[in-house]
Amino acid sequence: MATKKYDQFTDGNELQAGDQVVGLRADDNTRFDFPGDGIKDASGNYFFKYATDGAAAGNFLQISNALDGSDVELITDGTDTNIDININPKGTGQVLVPTPTTGSAAATKDYVDSGSAGSFYYLFSVAATIANFSSTYNNGASGIGATLTALSNGAAVIDGVTLSVGDFVLFKDQSVTFQNGIYILTTNGTGGTPSIFTRDEMFDQIPEIKIGFSLGIVNGTVNSNTIYQQQP
């Protein structure tokens, strides 16, 4: 261990592990200017290196300690109002963080992937029901080709949305719950015929319905701009 004075910090004589510094005092009127480009250990290996953009550099990094029970801080400060921290690993290196345990913690890719596994959006649904749709249900071949046929004639209207053939609709309020699901309007009713909805072939079998599946609703007096997610 060596004791070094301010004027001894020259190239080849940088601070090393265990060195004591004398003759320096940190207050509002004191500035430390360290020649060289970093601080090294006793073997001459860098603890860290520093660099500057030159005499006009007005932004800087501040490291703050803290009282027991409080967090230490890495702070950007300087001339600009808003200053980012830009972390650049070498080559294909990455910024590694632990698995998060609080809502405000940074999340690892593995953590995000595990949380979103099975969660995806169907392209969209034009509308979604707000009450039981009075209809006759036909289960087709164990759900394949299942239909809901309206009990009354006329064009299909769900949640205030006048539908067209090919529109996707989420039926979520059927009194007989197994009738719920994603349907496509396959026949639009007229004054003399009822509307018919057919289960979407991508979701007409139980294995196709995944936990976490999310469906966005585009239109509707009640359901416009909402998202529904399949729960366990």
Instruction: Spell out the alpha helix ranges (H) of 68-175.
Output: 109-116
| Residue 221 CB partners (closer than 8 Å, separation 6+) | 130, 159, 160
Q: Above 50 in pLDDT, residue 30?
A: no
- Decide which of 222 and 28 is more confident: 222
- Residue 91, domain member (yes or no): no
pLDDT tens per residue across span 42-67? 777 887 787 777 778 889 888 888 89
d(CA 21, CA 56): 28
> 199 in a domain, yes or no?
yes
Going from the C-alpha of 86 to that of each of 76, 89, 93, 96, 100, the distances in angstroms are 10, 10, 14, 15, 21
Number of folded domains that form the chain: 1
Could you tell me if residue 198 is inside a domain? Answer: yes
- For the full predicted model, state whether its pTM sits above 0.85: no
Decide if 6 is inside a domain.
no
Range 102-109 average pLDDT: 81
Confidence at residue 53, expressed as pLDDT on a 0 to 100 scale: 78
Q: Three-state DSSP class for 157?
A: strand
CA neighbor of 143 nearest in space, from 179, 190, 194: 179
pLDDT-based confidence at residue 156 (cuts at 50, 70, 90): very high
Note whether residue 43 is domain-resident.
no
**Is residue 7 domain-resident?**
no
Which domain covers residue 139, as residue numbers? 121-229
Confidence of residue 203 (pLDDT cuts 50, 70, 90): confident
Average of pLDDT values for 62-89?
90
CA-nearest of 130, 123, 127, 131 to 218 is 127
Give 163's pLDDT tier (boundaries 50, 70, 90).
very high
Give the helix/strand (H/E) hosting 168: strand 168-171
Tokens of 166: 């090919």
84 against 21, higher pLDDT: 84
The pLDDT score that the predictor gives to residue 14 is: 55
Q: Does 110 fall in a domain?
A: no
